[in-house]
Amino acid sequence: MTSSFRHVALIGKYQATGARAQHSALDEVMEGIGAFLEAQGCEVFVEKQHADEMAQSGYAALTVEEIGQRCDLGLVVGGDGTMLGIGRQLACHGVPLIGINRGRLGFITDISLDNYQATLIPMLAGEYEEDHRSLMHAQVMREGVSVFDALAMNDVVVNRGATSGMVELRVSVGRHFVANQRADGMIIASPTGSTAYALSAGGPLLHPAVPGWVLVPIAPHTLSNRPILLPDADEVLIELVGGRDASANFDMQSLASLVIGDQVVVRRSDYRVRFLHPKGWSYFDTLRKKLHWNEGGS
């Protein structure tokens, strides 16, 4: 069976703590996947950031920008964090992504490493389900000037300092004032991020097809402050009114320190991430498997 994808970028994640055995194990996995892709007729590249760890592979190394320009598929080997990072960077190029799970949960890296070959063969031939995920474009505004700019696929989180008390936040949606809230923080989550921090803080699950965000207070002082579902066409603005050492996190992968008066402004991005899943894939199958639904039932 011939692949309908000619140029495939192989993207992996090496542990920051990086014991040599971990690197060697991932080297072996990546080499095996690369050889498999070549056997399917694909030209294989590796992402430049991790090219040193695969120095003996013989594959050409590309920057993320070059992957966006030259590749028609990205194959991501790792966990959801790896996929979040590369997904944000490749969204503007429209390169589809397939995830092979080496992490713990795998909500968006959903192919098991154990049987990836049998799963990938029909996908590479064009038999797959396509799933588009929206991105959030966030800015930290200070006295009318943007001091931080980031994309997020999961969530934007305003948090209190580690050793400080609650923060007071002024929340507006679509330029309409909502409320002043005292809490440990506030989460704005996309449907993709609704199974992450927002779920732990009591938020609802959002199907990926829902064009909305969920606004979830973290340990609010007033218990009537509940999660609320918002249309993603509206701009969400969170102003830091009170509190020390507060910060804004974007997918928990980038961080901006906040001072009183700073505004975190979140808008729907023009870009979406393209995920490819095996034929017959269902979001509900993922929830059932990852959240262990039906266990203990008859």
**Domain residues of the chain, as ranges?**
7-126, 135-270
Looking up tokens 């008390």 gives 165
For the cut 90, the answer to whether the pLDDT of residue 87 exceeds it is yes
CATH topology assigned to domain 7-126:
Rossmann fold (3.40.50)
pLDDT digits (tens, 9 = 90+) for 115-130: 899 999 999 999 999 9
How many Cβ atoms sit within 10 Å of the Cβ of residue 224?
A: 5
> pLDDT tens digit string along 250-294?
999 999 999 999 999 999 999 999 999 999 999 999 999 889 898
Q: For residue 43, which of 5, 7, 96 has the smallest C-alpha distance? A: 7
Is there a shared CATH topology between the 7-126 domain and the 135-270 domain? no
Q: Identify the pLDDT of residue 218.
A: 96
State whether residue 213 is helix, strand or coil. Answer: strand
Digit-coded pLDDT (tens) for 222-251: 989 999 999 999 999 999 999 989 999 999
Q: Span 135-270: which CATH code?
A: 2.60.200.30
Measured torsion, CA atoms of residues 177, 178, 179, 183, in degrees rounded to the nearest 10: -120
In three-state secondary structure terms, 38 is: helix
Dihedral sign for Cα atoms in the order 275, 278, 284, 285: negative
Task: Tally Cβ neighbours within 10 Å of residue 281.
Answer: 16
Q: Predicted confidence band at 144 (pLDDT cuts at 50, 70, 90)? A: very high
pLDDT band at 165 (very low <50, low <70, confident <90, very high): confident
DSSP code for 148: E
Confidence of residue 95 (pLDDT cuts 50, 70, 90): very high
> Exposure pattern of 152-173 as b/e (b: 16+ CB <10 Å)?
bbbbbbbbbeeeeebbbbbbbb
Q: Which residues are catalytic?
A: 80
DSSP H/E element including 21: helix 20-39
Gap between the Cα atoms of 4 and 290, Å rounded: 30
Run of H or E residues at 43: strand 43-47
Q: Per-residue pLDDT averaged across 132-153, rounded? A: 97
Assess contact for 220 and 227: CB atoms under 8 A.
no
Q: Is the pLDDT of residue 19 over 50?
A: no
